[in-house]
Amino acid sequence: MDKLLQMAEIKPGDIVYDLGCGDGRVVVTAAKRYGVKAVGVDIDPQRVKDSLANVRENKVEHLVSIQQKDIFKLDLSKATVVFLFLMPTLNTRLMPQLEKLKPGSRIVSHEFDMGDAKPAQVVVLTTKGEEGHESNFDSNIHILYKWVVPWEKEAPDNKKKPGNSK
């Protein structure tokens, strides 16, 4: 998440949306670290409760709002940064909404690409997993994507390259 927030180049005045916000960790961190407004949206009432508790615990109610909604029925006209950690099929379904974001808006995605949208940046990150024994760390590889609106289309021969989900 830290790397994705850095890739999003959040600046004062940005409005950060996390589509499928889970426990709200992204919107809470964005608000605390950058002092920006953030909106978390999730369809699952339990996840919404978790997010609201996280917002209260971190005292960022003045910056963060949490909505229980379907992300496909969302008005994204105020968003300037969108965070995604969704299955690639959902990312692709969101493209008509994301295409309408203001030029220069950034979209960052944890793990999954987005249809034929050509990323402006792809970062492969290796993180250490949970510590089991002192000398035994699991390694996890994460792929992080960034697009800037309006994005370019991927060349057709790049579509089936390894690591691309299509």
Ligand X SMILES: C[S@@+](CC[C@H](N)C(=O)[O-])C[C@H]1O[C@@H](n2cnc3c(N)ncnc32)[C@H](O)[C@@H]1O
Given 9, 44, 61, 99, the residue binding ligand X (CB under 6 A) = 44
Strand intervals (E) in the chain: 15-19, 37-42, 64-68, 81-84, 106-110, 117-118, 121-133, 136-148, 152-153
Tell me how far, at minimum, the Cβ of 90 lies from ligand X, in Å: 6
Residues 58-87 close enough to bind ligand X by CB under 6 A: 70-72, 85-86
Residue 152 to residue 104: CA distance in whole angstroms: 13
Residue 43 to residue 22: CA distance in whole angstroms: 9
Question: Which residue's beta carbon is nearest to the bound ligand X?
Answer: 20
- For residues 94 and 154, which CB has a smaller minimum distance to ligand X in the complex? 94
Q: Is the backbone of residue 163 left (phi > 0), alpha (psi -120 to 50) or beta?
A: left
Tell me how far, at minimum, the Cβ of 46 lies from ligand X, in Å: 9
Verify binding: residue 47, ligand X, rule CB under 6 A. Answer: yes
Verify binding: residue 154, ligand X, rule CB under 6 A. Answer: no
- For residues 7 and 154, which CB has a smaller minimum distance to ligand X in the complex? 7
